Amino acid sequence: MDAALKRRLQDRFGAQLIAPIQQRHDETEIRIGAGDVPDVCRALHDEPAFGFILLADLAGVDTGDVMQVVYHLWSETTTDWLRVVADGLSREDPRVPSITFLWKGAEWMEREAYDMFGIAFEGNRDLRRIYMPPDYQSFPLRKDFFLPDDAARSPGAGVRHMEQSHAPTNARAATMIRKSRA
Amino acid sequence: MTTATPHVHPRQEVPSDDPRVQLDEAVGVFEPIPPYPPRTERESEFYTLGDGEMYINMGPQHPSTHGVLRIVLKLDGEQVVDLDPVLGYLHRGVEKLCENADYHHTIAYLDPLEYISSLFCEWPGVLAFEKLLDVEVPRRAEYIRVLSTELNRILSHSLFMGWMALDLGGLTPILWSFIERDEIAEMLAALTGQRLLFNYLRIGGVNGDLNHEFLSRLGDWMSRATHQIENNLGLLNQNEIFVRRMRGLGVLDKETAFRMAVTGPNLRASGVPLDFRRAHPYSVFTELEFDIPTRDEGDCLARYLVRIDEIKQSLRIIDQCLHNMPDGPIMAKLPRLLRPRPGRAYAAVEGPRGQYAAYVVSDGTDQPFRMRIHDPSFVHLQSVGVLMPGHLIADAMAVMASLDPIMGGVDK
Amino acid sequence: MARSFSRLTLAGKILFTIFPILLVLTGGLIVVIVVAGKPIVDFLATNIWLVRFVVAATAVLLMSVPSAFLIIYMEMKVIALMNLRIGPDRVGPFGSLLSVVHGLKVLMKEDFSPTGADRLVFTLAPIAVFMATIMSLLVLPFAPGLFGVDMNIGLLYLFAVSGLSVVGLLMAGWSSFNKYSLLGGLRSAAQVVSYEIPLTLSVVGLLLLAGTMSLNTISTNQAGWFTNWYVFQQPLGALIFFIAATAEANRTPFDLTEADSEIVAGFATEYSGMRFGFFFFAEYVNVFVVSGLIVTLFFGGWNAPFPWPWPIALNIDPGSMGLGLLFALLIVPPLLILALAAPFYVGRSTLPWWQALIIGFVLFNLLVVVAIGGWAFISWDWVAGLFWFLGKSYLFVFTFVWMRGTLPRVRIDQLMGFAWKWLLPASLLNLFVTAAALVVVHR
């Protein structure tokens, strides 16, 4: 709970925040739009007042209504973790500028977010699937993911009867997907 | 995007009367180069061969990759020019599984992530849940957590020591380190009931209290631990061949380390004294006295020596925990069915490989809405792409071993 | 008959199967000798090379196979004990029959060659490597009188022949159609070739002192007290030779050709079955040859560390004992057996008397073997020489195995750098100093 950090963030990024800064326990959370990500992250990284040099985590979240990309940053200047939520990505075509220009180590984390959610990181030189086979058709961690059809289209399906998936022909996506009120 | 163009794989149209013939024709001769056209810039850069270069596939089965990892190396003779790690062989969908499990059940899912240091995989998850539930963990439970996790750290580092030597060709140190590990595993089995995947931490505390067998084994081991570790290390630290092979190899400097989001002993070996137990204290680390071993060189030898020093610091911490162990309950009072308030929580701990973290999004039900696991081996494995080019194959394995990746964590 | 056969125990079945077959074979052999004995002997006398070949092949097999078996077992057991684990202990007492089982396993495995491999070269490679090793056994002097050929360029022949293994390794690496094998083969060729030079140069100083290249003569020159051994006159040469020999034999710390944490099994990745067995075998016989060579050149060969007046004649004339001999032969063995069995029977109360007698019998046999061996040791110089040679060789084999269990391996560029930048100048230095010293001494 670093009130000084909250003030500094409000002063610097007030225009780009799309929700009030929330603080709980030892985390400070700011929400910005997808397009503001490179500027905000560069400012947080470069400016000595903030100095968030360590990227702790990069995660994708599918809230059922929208998608989010959540960055966790650490700095020596504050005792809190900073959570930057790039909110408001559409579920049909989620796009976020990549932060690999700042942290090359984010490359694989962005690949994982792409693989699991389909979020396209513009500027990532290597945006391909990392866990799933390269020609897998769907994105597993999305809330509307269902299994049977996808395995059939992967190279893992063999030619013998037992190695193929025989999904029911009327298998359909889940009609009610789980949403988060968070 | 799930119901995108239903792409039927051409192989499905092959008739299947003689399965073996069909399979042979379908498989063909294995090529490490992907059959599809390269889709990203990096892929096309990698999969174009220069003059005199060749690809060699350190495949998922290999005597020295730390689990099932496939690395496609582009070699110029014996020198590595470029590499492309291919992951996913051990992907188990833990994050998705956690979304369909109760909060208590997720702890068992978190264990096999980095199976060598499984208590460190459980801890951030448990901490994040406790933040969501605003639970206060009793002091005795905190001390027991620190005690068992420091033992786990020693387990992990002794395995690292043995594995490092094995990748360089020494057959003996790994067996000696397994003697160490066996004693500690028996100790932890007396405490938690398990030798490898402990499943010991609970939301609000730990599973079982310290018992007589654990304490007697621990006391017995502590009395000879320092001497035993010194003996084991004598084989490696003063070995000219070992030191010469590791010195100056795979140097990771400070700026590159921060750029690659490296944490843990790899970062501390590059000169940055960042340890989340001091920098962002959790649990009872504010009350414990220990040093943070740091080295400046950033080469494989520095990473090795930092981990050795950490073993000694862990012994100090265990000593203090034993002396200062408070009385009290080992678990907070919680209802069986946990329904945290909707919200988000992030918790990170300092594990033997780096920062283990969990980001939990809760929607008010009894199952986590999103359980994101951050795992240091995943991040560190990217560094091999930066460190390996320019070295020989033998060094490539040494560099990878010194970064200490565990594929369970890399692939989740 | 079939029914009574099936009622026998296993031992009985074996006996009753083998015994008739042996009888038939013996009878057949007798018939052949009686009928066609003289023509066969005449044929062999005119083609004496055939006899020589058979005898030589038998001798080679007798020398190489048991030593390879012993070294394989020793390596596994000794490294296991160094690793604080037990090692093989199921097959035979303390696992000593392990090598036999390994040999059988290797013979029984499926012998295939990978798709795309060059079949002819793939098959010939292990033969080439094995041949190189076996040919070097020809000149190694095991004991006074116990050697293949006493060539006066014995050492040169040995170095020449051990270089043939490079060809075999390259053939193996190339023909396997596998990049790992290729890398392994190239690495090993580079390694063997670069260590040939310090190997040969370090011995030239010794040759200057000995004046001959014949290994037999070098061994005889080191007779007498152990201070005559060349290691005290050429310490640097001995050290360089030891290091270069380790590299030649592809042993740790120079075993990058089979570094199994990097390039799975090097040149032998695609080999299985008897072909792999050949490589395996050749490597261990090579270790024995190299140890034997170190012992011959620098550590006295088949000489004892002290001068021993061979032969010592025990003036026992059995004929003069007369009837006493008969009594001795009839009474002494049972008495000895009882004497040896008594401590066990008395010491362990649960031991049945017949088990104690069996233990006594076994110990009595051991005693007889030791006595006969001792008598042979002091009577014939070649028995003693063989004992000392093998003992010293196996000490060096143990050192090689010890190094394997302890040291990690070096990198290829460190290895080459070491050979060319350190060992080569050191061996040249050794040569110059020896030559200078000889000139000064002779003046």
Q: Is B395 on the interface with C (CB under 8 A)?
A: yes
The encoded tokens of residue C299 equal 């550590």
Task: Say whether both C239 and C193 belong to one domain.
Answer: yes
Q: Which ipTM was obtained for this model?
A: 0.86
Question: Which amino acid type is present at position C10?
Answer: L
Q: Is the pLDDT of residue A175 over 90?
A: no
What's the gap in Å between the CA of B225 and the closest CA on chain C? 17
Predicted pLDDT of residue B237: 82
Instruction: Tell me how many residue pairs between chain B and chain C have CB atoms under 8 A apart.
Output: 77
The encoded tokens of residue A55 equal 């990227």
Predicted pLDDT of residue B6: 43
Task: Say whether both C162 and C202 belong to one domain.
Answer: yes
Residue C77 resides in a domain: no
Compute the distance between CA of residue B392 and CA of residue C222 in angstroms, rounded to an integer: 46
Residue C48 resides in a domain: no
Torsion angle of the four alpha carbons B246, B247, B250, B252, in this order, in degrees rounded to the nearest 10: 130
- Residue B8 — very low, low, confident or very high, per pLDDT cuts 50/70/90? very low
Question: How many domains are contained in chain C?
Answer: 2
Residue linked to tokens 């620098």: C298
Q: Is B29 on the interface with C (CB under 8 A)?
A: yes
DSSP string, B85-115: EE--TT---HHHHHHTS-HHHHHHHHTTTTG
B interface mutation test: which of C411, C412, C413, C414 has the most B CBs within 10 A?
A: C411
Residue C281 resides in a domain: yes
Predicted pLDDT of residue B29: 45
Q: Is B27 on the interface with A (CB under 8 A)?
A: no
Predicted pLDDT of residue C360: 86
What's the number of CA atoms in the CB half-sphere (13 Å) around residue B330? 14
Q: Is B169 on the interface with C (CB under 8 A)?
A: yes
A interface mutation test: which of B31, B346, B382 has the most A CBs within 10 A?
A: B346
Nearest Cα residue in chain C from B56: C179
Task: Say whether both C247 and C138 belong to one domain.
Answer: yes
The top-scoring range by mean pLDDT among A106-115, A125-134, B171-180 is: A106-115
Predicted pLDDT of residue C88: 87
Q: Name residues 287-316 of chain B within 8 A of A (Cβ).
A: none
Beta bridge partners of B357: B348, B374
Q: What is the mean pLDDT of residues B260-280?
A: 91
Residue C363 resides in a domain: yes
ω before B326 within 30° of 0 (cis)? no
Question: Which amino acid type is present at position B42?
Answer: R
B242 vs C187, C262, C408: nearest CB: C408
Residue C6 resides in a domain: no
Residue linked to tokens 């300092």: B350
- Distances in Å between the Cα of B401 and the Cα atoms of B182, B249, C116, C214 are 22, 12, 33, 49
Q: Is B166 on the interface with A (CB under 8 A)?
A: no
Chains C and A share 3 or more Cβ pairs within 8 Å: no
What does the pLDDT look like over C378-395, one tens digit per residue? 777 778 888 889 999 999
B7 vs A102, A137, A161: nearest CB: A137
Range(s) of the domain holding residue C406 = 99-307+400-442
B interface mutation test: which of A57, A70, A77, A90 has the most B CBs within 10 A?
A: A57
In this complex, do B394 and C256 lie within 8 Å of one another by their Cβ atoms?
A: yes
Reduced to 3 states (helix: H, G, I; strand: E, B; else coil), residue A99 is coil
- Residue B12 — very low, low, confident or very high, per pLDDT cuts 50/70/90? very low
In whole numbers, what is the pLDDT of chain B averaged over residues?
Answer: 85
Say how far residue C343 (Cα) sits from the centre of its chain: 38
Compute the distance between CA of residue C299 and CA of residue C389 in angstroms, rounded to an integer: 9
Task: Say whether both C324 and C192 belong to one domain.
Answer: no
Compute the distance between CA of residue B24 and CA of residue B35 in angstroms, rounded to an integer: 17
B interface mutation test: which of C261, C410, C413 has the most B CBs within 10 A?
A: C261
What class does CATH assign to B94-411? mainly alpha
Predicted pLDDT of residue B13: 43
Beta bridge partners of B345: B360
Predicted pLDDT of residue B169: 79
Task: Say whether both C233 and C114 belong to one domain.
Answer: yes
Closest to B173 (Cα-Cα) out of B313, B308, B314: B308
Is the separation of the CB atoms in B298 and B249 below 8 Å?
no
Closest to A91 (Cα-Cα) out of A54, A63, A131, A130: A63
Compute the distance between CA of residue C223 and CA of residue C301 in angstroms, rounded to an integer: 9
Nearest Cα residue in chain A from B361: A182
Q: Which residues of C touch B388 (CB under 8 A)?
A: none
Question: How many CB atoms within 10 Å of residue C311?
Answer: 14
DSSP A125: T
Question: How many CB atoms within 10 Å of residue C163?
Answer: 16
Question: Which amino acid type is present at position C87?
Answer: G
In this complex, do A81 and B348 lie within 8 Å of one another by their Cβ atoms?
A: yes
Q: Which residues of C touch B172 (CB under 8 A)?
A: 79, 82-83, 405-406
pLDDT tens-place values along chain C, 443 residues long:
677 777 777 777 888 888 889 999 999 999 988 888 888 888 888 888 888 778 877 877 787 888 888 999 999 999 999 988 888 888 877 788 888 888 888 888 877 777 777 788 888 998 898 888 888 888 888 888 777 777 888 899 989 988 888 888 888 888 887 777 888 888 888 888 889 999 999 999 899 888 888 888 888 888 888 888 888 888 999 999 999 999 888 887 888 776 655 556 677 777 877 888 888 888 899 999 999 999 999 998 888 888 877 667 766 666 666 777 787 788 888 888 888 888 888 887 787 888 888 888 888 899 989 988 888 887 777 788 888 899 999 999 999 999 988 888 888 888 889 999 999 999 999 999 999 999 998 87
Q: Is B400 on the interface with C (CB under 8 A)?
A: no
Task: Say whether both C343 and C292 belong to one domain.
Answer: no
Task: Say whether both C362 and C230 belong to one domain.
Answer: no
Predicted pLDDT of residue B23: 45
Q: Where in chain B is the domain with CATH 1.10.645.10?
A: 94-411
Taking chain B, what is the end-to-end CA distance rounded to the nearest angstrom?
23
Q: Name residues 69-88 of chain B within 8 A of A (Cβ).
A: 87-88
Beta bridge partners of A60: A69
Q: In the 3-class helix/strand/coil scheme, how is chain C assigned residue by residue?
A: CHHHHHCCCHHHHHHHHHHHHHHHHHHHHHHHHHHHHHHHHHHHHHCHHHHHHHHHHHHHHHHHHHHHHHHHHHHHHHHHHHCCCCCCCCCCHHHCCHHHHHHHHHHHCCCCCCCCCCHHHHHHHHHHHHHHHHHHCCCCCCECCECCCCCCCHHHHHHHHHCHHHHHHHHHHHHCCCHHHHHHHHHHHHHHHHHHHHHHHHHHHHHHHHCCCCHHHHHHHCCCCHHHCHHHCCHHHHHHHHHHHHHHCCCCCCCHHHCCCCCCCHHHCCCCHHHHHHHHHHHHHHHHHHHHHHHHHHCCCCCCCCCCCCCCCCCCCHHHHCHHHHHHHHHHHHHHHHHHHHHHHHHCCCCCHHHHHHHHHHHHHHHHHHHHHHHHHHHCHHHHHHHHHHHHHHHHHHHHHHHHHHCCCCCHHHHHHHHHHHHHHHHHHHHHHHHHHHHHHHC
Predicted pLDDT of residue C293: 92
Q: Is the pLDDT of residue A154 over 70?
A: no
In this complex, do A53 and B258 lie within 8 Å of one another by their Cβ atoms?
A: yes
Helix extents (H) in B14-74: 19-27, 41-46
Task: Say whether both C341 and C212 belong to one domain.
Answer: no
Residue linked to tokens 């116990």: C146
Task: Say whether both C157 and C250 belong to one domain.
Answer: yes
What does the pLDDT look like over B277-328, one tens digit per residue? 998 888 889 999 999 999 998 899 999 999 999 999 999 999 999 999 999 9
Predicted pLDDT of residue A155: 55
Q: Is B62 on the interface with C (CB under 8 A)?
A: yes
Compute the distance between CA of residue B59 and CA of residue B67 in angstroms, rounded to an integer: 11
Predicted pLDDT of residue B4: 41
**Size (chain B), residues:** 412
In this complex, do B397 and C411 lie within 8 Å of one another by their Cβ atoms?
A: no
Task: Say whether both C350 and C292 belong to one domain.
Answer: no
Last residue of a domain, one of C326, C348, C379: C379
- Residue A181 — very low, low, confident or very high, per pLDDT cuts 50/70/90? low
Task: Say whether both C188 and C294 belong to one domain.
Answer: yes
Q: Is the pLDDT of residue B52 over 80?
A: yes
Residue C352 resides in a domain: yes
Q: What percent of chain C has pLDDT over 70?
A: 95
- Residue B141 — very low, low, confident or very high, per pLDDT cuts 50/70/90? very high
What does the pLDDT look like over B378-391, one tens digit per residue? 999 999 888 988 88
Task: Say whether both C324 and C226 belong to one domain.
Answer: no
In this complex, do B11 and A157 lie within 8 Å of one another by their Cβ atoms?
A: yes
Taking chain A, what is the end-to-end CA distance rounded to the nearest angstrom?
20
In this complex, do B16 and A118 lie within 8 Å of one another by their Cβ atoms?
A: no
The encoded tokens of residue A3 equal 């009130």
- Residue B3 — very low, low, confident or very high, per pLDDT cuts 50/70/90? very low
